[in-house]
Structures are given as C-alpha cells and as structure tokens.
Structure 1
C-alpha cells in the first residue's frame, strides 16, 4: 500500500467530489508535501502573448480532462487554460459558466491580467511526463502588485495549481469545469470566486491540487512519509487498504467508517490486527467513492478516531 501523511490544520482544506468525481486538496505556507514549484523562466519558452490574447501549445501526452483527451491546450492571457480555439474575455464568472461559449477550462487565476509589459511574461515547458505553464510577475489591470503562479498538467489528469508570490487580488476565479457543467451533472469544482471563501484566497507559496477519480495516490506528486502518529493528520490511502495507527493496543477491533456528514456507511466487526501491522484490507471499501472519511477503531481496551482520504 502507498501511504502518505498530509498536514491537517486550519490552513489545510479539501473539497469535492464534484459530479464527475474530482477532488481538490489545498494548503498554504509552502508545505513541502504539496508545493513543488518549477521555475521555467530560464529554461522554458516565453509565449508571444499580448493583453486580452491567447495562444495554442502542443502537449507531449494525451491529457485526460473529465471525459475527453487533449494533446493541445490554449493559454489565455487572463489566467485560463482551455481547449477551444477562441478568446476568453476579461470578465471572469463563478463556476459553472458558459460565458464566451468556452466549456472545458482550468481557471488557475481568471481575471483581467496583462502579461505583455516588459517585466511580466507567460512561459511553458514540456518535461515529457508533465507540462508547466507559468505566469511570471503578471499584474491585474488597474491594480498595483504582480503575481507569479503556474499550472502543472500530467498525463494522468492530475493538476497542480501553484501560487508562488501573490501581491494583488480582486475577484478572481479558481476552479475547473467540463463543457457540460451547466446541464445539471455538476461536472465542475470551484475553489474560490469573488473572494469567497475568504480563507481560500491564494497567498504566497500556496497550492491547489485537483485529483480525478481514476488517479491513485501513487500517481500524484505527493511526498511519502512514514506513519508516526495520527494526531492532527489526514491519512491518504488506496482502497481496499486502510491505515492502522501504531497506538492501537487491541488484537481485535470493530471498524466503523463514517461519511463527512457523520452517517455510518460501513461496519466490520472483529478485525484482527497483527503485531506491527500498519494497514488492514477492509472488505467493502473498494466500492466506495473517493473522498474524506472518518474511521473509528473500537477495541476492548480503547478506541482510536482519525480521518482518511480514500483514493482508488
């Protein structure tokens, strides 16, 4: 089993799944478990991107996004990555939206940006196994301050939005959506829009990671660390294996799995735990959707409660 411990505190947030199954994880303050900044201003290609403009790039792999595959992307000057050959204007909207008739999109910092001055620039670089698109020191029209952020696309569909240095914010939109998002299927997952929720407004060294439903933990760029305790942690695991805290003293426990709303969705009595065992194979978890769950292990002597992010 591939297992990762993620810092869980007031700066950590998660959301989803949307109607398709995408989740997001987010953190701030440069947490090394998430924040893998790639500076490509010296090695990448600077795009000839003016104000209110867009250009096309080729991807070195087929990028899966919702139920489509793309070997190209359009980079917009206003902080958008999308997959239709047309301009997307300066008026950002909250998701879902079909403004400008553009459907599939990644809004990494959708606003009225101007990357064409002498200091700012937009760069991209293909690394074979992933592609980086960096907006470097780009100002928002009418505001002081410059912003540096990037998106990393991977052939698994795993998406990283990274915010290195942010000096200005007005009402930007951050999130993803499919072309059919307005049909009622809820194939979109917004992170922040018009400053709400306020705790999600990106600051320096923050990250938002979008994980599609088919991606397992080992296919992300999350960093693996050994388990030492579960206090203040969120455990990332792959079904049907669940982690076991080292502090569980009982040989047999009853396992309860709860949804985020507190409803019990799984009960497995009398599970045997071997000495030094760090994970359990739990029947029934393979059919559960990816998401955040609470675990209760109840034995004769004690009980342990902790949270997991279950992926497949």
Structure 2
C-alpha cells in the first residue's frame, strides 16, 4: 500500500527539552491514523512538523511522497490542516466563507463558487449554505471548518482535536464527515483526547508518551495487548469473594485477578478467550456453592488500553511499538 505519511527517526528539541525523540510513523493512503498521548507528549509538535510549520532537528519526514524539509511548498499544495480553533467567520454565510477560502487559494471567482457548492454538498451543509455561521450548531460549524480545509482537495488531511467542546450529536456529525472523506480516498492524521473517537474512526493508532512512540497498532490489537476481555462477577457473599476470584482465575486460565468492593463483591477476571468461558467459570463457582448475582463478559476498551500503556492507571503495560 502507498504511504500517505512516512516518518523515521523524527527528533525535535527546544533548548534542553527533547519534545520528539526518534519517532517513527507510517500512515497508509486512504486510512485514518489516530495520534494519541497525554498533554506534552509531542502530538502538536509532530503535526506542526508534518504540515511544514516547524522544521525537525533530525529524521526523515515525507507527506504525500514529498520531503517536508526540502519541498515544503509542494507539500502544502497536497495537504489540509484543521486546527483546534475555528477558522471560519461568524458573520459570513457558509458559502461565502468557502468562496473566500477558495479565492485565498487563488481560484478564480467562478471556480471558487463551484468549489464552495461542491464542499457544502460533501459535508452535508448544502441546504444551509446561505445562513450566517453564527446560527450554526457546534457540529455544523466544525463541518464547515473541515470543508474549508478541503478547498484544494488535499491528499492528506490533518485534524487536530476536531471535536473538542462538541456535544455528542456534533461529534457524530464530524465523524460522518471524516468517514465520507476517507471513503473518497483522503488520508487522515487525527489527534484526539477522546478515545472513543479513535476507536470509531481510526484504522491505526499511534500512542506518544514523553516524545516517543510507546504503542502502535489497530484499536483491537492495542486492547488485546493488555489482556483482552474482562469477565465481571458479582458474588452474593462478600466473604467468599477471594475464594471466587481464585476459582474464576483457574477456570478462565487467567494470569491475574482483581477484586473491587460494591454491592456484594465484584470480581474482575481478565480472560484470553471468549468461547465457553462464562459457562466454565459459573459451573466452577456453582460446584463450590458460591452464589453469583451477576455475570458480564465485556471487551477491554481503548480507554483502558491507553491508560495502561501510558501508566496513567498506576500500572504500565509494554506493547509493541
């Protein structure tokens, strides 16, 4: 598969502080890569380098097959960047905003109008093109922002936390717009603080921490790397919770067991297989005379994987980077 972004050994320092320390990253054409990490991990710096706004100190960086240091102008003609702050004007109508952006990109008056109409249709705003942006909801405004970044039909689109501050409906609007872009062949690098967003949109996830890549893979691969599914049991007799935990561990062939207090006693067992595990554990507990009020088998979420990978839940898990 052709690569939309290729990064090898990317390094950036500000004084004595190393912000990016030998970062490697590949993004395939027509895919979405989510760049995750805590504040200060280096995500914004990486995006600024990839979009030619900052020069790297070391490493090789290519976007759309072009070196960002040697040919920054050629890269800019092939990319779009949607920052965290809205770029559209509240006073102008949606279509007027897009015509303005098109004219700033040197499109003629007629071509700018045609492109504005195409973009409004593409992001689902064709029926409100004549409305002032101040009357838009947060999700509509963000979709218009995305449209503004697509004036030159970029091969690669950079979205820096595109749904920050939006309500769930607005977030879904933006997700739909991003999916439509990818279906049309656009490659997307997305930074986000919403783990659900990465789970919904990303083909691949890259986790940065301390300026280094600490994990890479699909959302499913990252969740599997920290232990797969979780079997949760609520034991009727709290006094037998530890015994239930040991039995469940053996029955599920699990390496670790955690318990937490609550109504009754909740026992959480990481499991590496789904088929038959609930029945096996319940039978083992039943044979021991341990009553269970509730049993749930649920997948590990990307939120849990992220917290474990970055050590934000006081326990770090090593996964392939």
TM-score (norm 1): 0.28
Larger proportion of helix:
2
Larger proportion of strand:
1
